[in-house]
Amino acid sequence: MPTTTRPIIAFSGSVLDRADALRSDPVALAALRGRGDARLLGMDGLEPVVSAAGALVWQAMTAAPDAELLFLGLDGDGAPHFAPVPQAGSTAPAASTLWSAVEAMAAPDLAAYAAARALGGWHARHRFCAVCGAPTVLAKGGWQRSCTSDTCRAEHFPRTDPVVIMTVEHQGRLLLGRQPRFPAHRYSALAGFVEPGETLEEAVTREIREEAGLTIRDVRYVASQPWPFPASLMFACHAYTDDPAITIDTNELEDARWFTRDEVAEAMDARAQGRDGIAFSAPTQVAVAWHLLDIWLHGAG
Amino acid sequence: MPTTTRPIIAFSGSVLDRADALRSDPVALAALRGRGDARLLGMDGLEPVVSAAGALVWQAMTAAPDAELLFLGLDGDGAPHFAPVPQAGSTAPAASTLWSAVEAMAAPDLAAYAAARALGGWHARHRFCAVCGAPTVLAKGGWQRSCTSDTCRAEHFPRTDPVVIMTVEHQGRLLLGRQPRFPAHRYSALAGFVEPGETLEEAVTREIREEAGLTIRDVRYVASQPWPFPASLMFACHAYTDDPAITIDTNELEDARWFTRDEVAEAMDARAQGRDGIAFSAPTQVAVAWHLLDIWLHGAG
């Protein structure tokens, strides 16, 4: 059993009440915006503005009096929280301090940022109607965009892409792989998008067959995580195989192999101390893959 | 324990290998299309053409020699299966025989139709680029659309919307509700879309609070189901509450109340015989809600 408190899954644990009934009420939204206790999230495009203490920065609404706004919800005191809509086409900067900021940020901040980034990123890439090509406008406090063409009037909603991420076990060893873009020595759980016309369990089975050539059984859901880069919902799963012969899809993976429980435990202990393990470099604690490995080692309790 | 074989979750259980590596190979795709054993799914817009025996109709490719195609995958003999891309703007007809067809269709047919309908419906509503408004063209055997603007070139992927659907238990009774659009007397599990910036479990908690005013605990994932109307992935969950006082969101629900185990069992037995129960009309077997109720009564084994 772990002796320290386990971190909550990063980007979850929001303390804001989304108050969805208010989204459809333009008068109420305008009143919320005008309140003295209303707060606007400091954002630089899709990246958070971070204080010296590593926290999100919530500004007075006067910081951006004409900004188009996303209504994130109400805090425990009823104060309305908003985020700005990013400019059209906003994308993540190539060089970013985001990850060091994310790893230092408290859970409620990460959760508020997750909603603001996923929703904001969707607005940045959906200024036009996919049905007819006409411009769209923001609606319902940012939780909808509406086509401006009188003959179309399509309604569009924020997109969330389900992704499966999974560990496979064989005789007490765990399958992990590395993508070419990973940091040196890093191995993590394999992952892929769920496709139309398949269950979560079928997506896990297909991805493991495609990427590692393994036939699996007994797929089990473990946990989920919102991952706003740009708009994923991660479904962490665990499965078993009876035949450990790996065939890698070299288009997706640089390597995949079996790690013993001792190797995983050492790499996770090393990660907790901010360094790479001996057999491999374990995933960061902000990734749900970290929780998959932690739960495999120590159980969910 | 149930004495008859439980149906598999409708729209899952595809027997086609999606063979995703072929999608990126235009030469291979053209060769597949030209093969004598290639098969094209009979579709009428978004609805399936159904044989007198209630099966999908797979035609020779000569049935539509110039059709734009979605590559669904290879069957057990290696024969390639395709579906036609529906016309732009295709929507479900107001009067449809779809549901009687769906309830009579074999599992592998339903799964093939689920992929064809979800993917086809996406193409019908994504002829234009949401980033810049320019026309898009089909790519990768139908698993992508690409913007035709030289200055944009955005790539777009099929959309799958995660939805939570959940039962809540209090002292052996089950919370079920009815939407105004439901058939008479029908009660089912409550449901709602997962939003950006929340886990599956947080979405379940939020939806039950919004729609029924209940605070829940111990949310447990039970099963998932692709639901191609138009593009949902249903996550069936079960949870508990310690306070059964219901406050209904009348914008979403017409009623919600607690049903005893005996009432649910009687309604499920009645459904198996094609009729409504006494306390309520149970959901159809093609809905994952049916499985939630069945597993609650009989366990997952």
Q: CB within 8 A of B270, min separation 6: which ones?
A: B276, B277, B278, B281, B282
The beta-carbon neighbor of B221 closest among A9, A193, A221 is A221
Residue B167 belongs to some domain of the structure: yes
Q: What are phi and psi of B156, to 5 degrees?
A: -120, 140
Instruction: Answer for the pair B242, B151: CB distance below 8 angstroms, yes or no.
Output: no
Q: What ipTM, to 2 d.p.?
A: 0.96
Same domain membership, residue B291 and residue B181: yes
Distance between CA atoms of residues A87 and A90, nearest Å: 6
Q: What are phi and psi of B122, to 5 degrees?
A: -65, -45
pLDDT of residue B2: 46
- Which residues span the domain enclosing B107? 20-123
Same domain membership, residue B258 and residue B173: yes
Contact check, Cβ <8 Å, B224/A200:
yes
Residue A180 belongs to some domain of the structure: yes
pLDDT of residue A301: 65
Q: Partners of B227 in the beta sheet?
A: B232
Contact check, Cβ <8 Å, A194/B132:
no
DSSP state for residue B253 in the 8-state scheme: -
Q: CB within 8 A of B250, min separation 6: which ones?
A: none
Same domain membership, residue B57 and residue B178: no
Same domain membership, residue A165 and residue A116: no
Give the A window 155-214 contacts with B, CB below 8 Å.
156-162, 193-202, 206, 210
Count how many domains chain B has: 2
Residue B58 belongs to some domain of the structure: yes
Give me the residues of chain A with pLDDT under 50, please. Answer: 1-3
Same domain membership, residue B186 and residue B114: no
Q: Which residues of chain B lie closer than 8 angstroms to A11, CB-CB?
A: 197
Instruction: Answer for the pair A29, A68: CB distance below 8 angstroms, yes or no.
Output: no
Distance between CA atoms of residues B66 and B63, nearest Å: 9
Best CA proximity match to B215, nearest among B258, B253, B173, B246: B246
Residue B139 belongs to some domain of the structure: no
Q: Which of A88, A120, A152 is the last residue of a domain?
A: A120
Q: Which residues of chain B lie closer than 8 angstroms to A46, CB-CB?
A: none
Distance between CA atoms of residues A19 and A71, nearest Å: 9
Task: Provide the CATH number for the domain around residue B274.
Answer: 3.90.79.10
The beta-carbon neighbor of A118 closest among B197, B225, B231 is B197
pLDDT of residue A4: 57
Same domain membership, residue A99 and residue A48: yes
pLDDT of residue A2: 46
Same domain membership, residue B189 and residue B116: no
Q: Does A132 touch chain B (CB under 8 A)?
A: yes
Residue with tokens 């399936």: B48
Residue A290 belongs to some domain of the structure: yes
Query: Which residue in chain A has the smallest CA separation from B144?
Result: A195
Residue B75 belongs to some domain of the structure: yes
Same domain membership, residue B216 and residue B294: yes
Same domain membership, residue B108 and residue B180: no
pLDDT of residue B93: 78
Residue B9 belongs to some domain of the structure: no
pLDDT of residue B207: 98
Contact check, Cβ <8 Å, B199/A224:
yes
Residue A147 belongs to some domain of the structure: no
Contact check, Cβ <8 Å, B251/A21:
yes
Residue with tokens 């590692």: A212
Distance between CA atoms of residues B57 and B276, nearest Å: 32
Catalogue the E-assigned strands of chain B.
Answer: 39-41, 43-44, 47-48, 58-60, 69-74, 80-84, 136-139, 144-147, 155-156, 161-170, 173-178, 190-193, 216-227, 232-241, 255-259
pLDDT of residue B39: 97
Same domain membership, residue A186 and residue A115: no
Same domain membership, residue B115 and residue B170: no
Distance between CA atoms of residues B248 and B266, nearest Å: 25
pLDDT tens per residue across span A247-265:
999 999 999 999 999 999 9
The beta-carbon neighbor of A125 closest among B131, B161, B193 is B131
Q: Which of B123, B145, B174 is the last residue of a domain?
A: B123
Same domain membership, residue A168 and residue A115: no
Q: Which of A89, A120, A151 is the last residue of a domain?
A: A120
pLDDT of residue A6: 80
pLDDT of residue B90: 83
Give me the residues of chain B with pLDDT under 70, please. Answer: 1-4, 95, 301
DSSP state for residue B141 in the 8-state scheme: G
